[in-house]
Structure 1
Amino acid sequence: MRPWRSVDGQFLYLPAGQDVWDQLRSRLQLGQQLTGTVVWVPNPRATGIGVDVDLPIGGFVDVFQLPHDTTRWPVVGTQMAFYVWWMDDRPQIRLLPADPHYRREDFDEWVLHEDTLAAAAYRAHHGTG
């Protein structure tokens, strides 16, 4: 069953259980590329976007990774590539758009100075920094 579902006209996130997430997370890597479809854009500038990555756990791109100009955000139905940006105990894959057009305007500079495992993995995979 898909984790992003429309129920009574509202989009809900209903991921598989923690055991499924723990198994899936052990097979994913930071920086890994996934293909997904944007399924949820609730309120530009407020939260981010929900992405169906054809797994029992959904993806999410945080508003912080998206352009300040919301007209550059991908719209519902956009199918595109994403990088796995972050995973923790919560059953959700944090994603980064692979297409720079859909990233924050200062991403290239920002990622060089960001001190996180996700940014380090991105720099390692893309030969930057």
Structure 2
Amino acid sequence: MASGSMRPAPPPPGSPKLRPGRGCDDPGVTADARWERIREDLRFGQVFAGTVVRVPRPGAIGIFVDIGLSVGGFVDVVLLPEEAKDWPAEGTVTDFELWWADDRRQIRLKPSDARYLRSDFADFVQRFRPGWPSDIGRPVHGPEAAPCEPGAGFTSAGPPAGCPGTGETTDGPGGS
């Protein structure tokens, strides 16, 4: 048999079918598994140096940030200054804090630099996420770890029913 046609011997019958190289960065690991491994080490308020890589619709949806992980970072419009001219431009390098991380494989960030944060941030936190100060440093466990997410139905009138600070609760999609 020529050396180019040699194949490794098959595994013995009944042995597990292991494939080598199943680390977090291996392409054979599912995106969900990679995300869970990344999320295990994340903490609310964790600071990342990031580069703004995309501002798709200034004043409308938010900004995308590269924070050096295999998942994207995003700052929601509700955390940014009211005037889009005050947002960090593409290429801006600054610090961001982990604000939210759920099952969508994206890290939601808030700017650490007050220039890039909504002017009434303290009031915003008090109204829509009053538990934020006590969340800082806590591990990100899953979608239920943080009370409400910016952009999840927030309007100029405030957050959706069931968010802390609204005084409302919901028992399901229709509420009650």
Say yes or no: TM over 0.5. Answer: yes
Q: Structure 2 unaligned runs (5+)?
A: 1-29, 139-176
**For 1:120 and 1:44, how far apart are their aligned partners in 2?**
31
Residue in 2 aligned with 1:80?
A: 94
Alpha-carbon RMSD? 1.9
**For 1:120 and 1:28, how far apart are their aligned partners in 2?**
15
Residue in 2 aligned with 1:31?
A: 45
2:40 paired with 1:22: no
Larger radius of gyration, structure 1 or 2?
2
- Amino acid aligned to 1:30: F
How far is the alpha carbon of 1:114 from its aligned partner? 2.6
**For 1:73 and 1:121, how far apart are their aligned partners in 2?**
26
**For 2:91 and 2:128, how far apart are their aligned partners in 1?**
31
What are the Cα deviations for residues 91-122 of structure 1, in whole angstroms up to 9, with x where unaligned? 00000000011011111222133336546425
- Amino acid aligned to 2:113: D
Q: Structure 1 unaligned runs (5+)?
A: 1-15, 125-129
**TM-score, normalized by length of structure 1?**
0.77
Do the aligned residues in 1 keep the contact of 2:97 with 2:109 (CA within 8 Å)?
Answer: yes
- Amino acid aligned to 1:84: L
What are the Cα deviations for residues 11-45 of structure 1, in whole angstroms up to 9, with x where unaligned? xxxxx811111000010001111111000000112
Task: Answer 1 or 2: which has greater strand percent.
Answer: 1
SS at match of 1:21: helix
**For 1:44 and 1:120, how far apart are their aligned partners in 2?**
31
Do the aligned residues in 2 keep the contact of 1:38 with 1:78 (CA within 8 Å)?
Answer: yes
Residue in 2 aligned with 1:115?
A: 129
2:63 paired with 1:54: no
Between 1 and 2, higher relative CO (CA 8 Å, sep ≥ 6) is seen in 1
- Amino acid aligned to 1:86: W
SS at match of 1:94: strand
Task: Answer 1 or 2: which has greater helix percent.
Answer: 1
**For 1:69 and 1:80, how far apart are their aligned partners in 2?**
19
Task: Detail structure 1 runs of 4+ shifted over 2 Å in the superposition.
Answer: 112-122
Residue in 2 aligned with 1:42?
A: 56
SS at match of 2:129: coil
**TM-score, normalized by length of structure 2?**
0.57
How far is the alpha carbon of 1:64 from its aligned partner? 0.5
Do the aligned residues in 2 keep the contact of 1:86 with 1:118 (CA within 8 Å)?
Answer: no
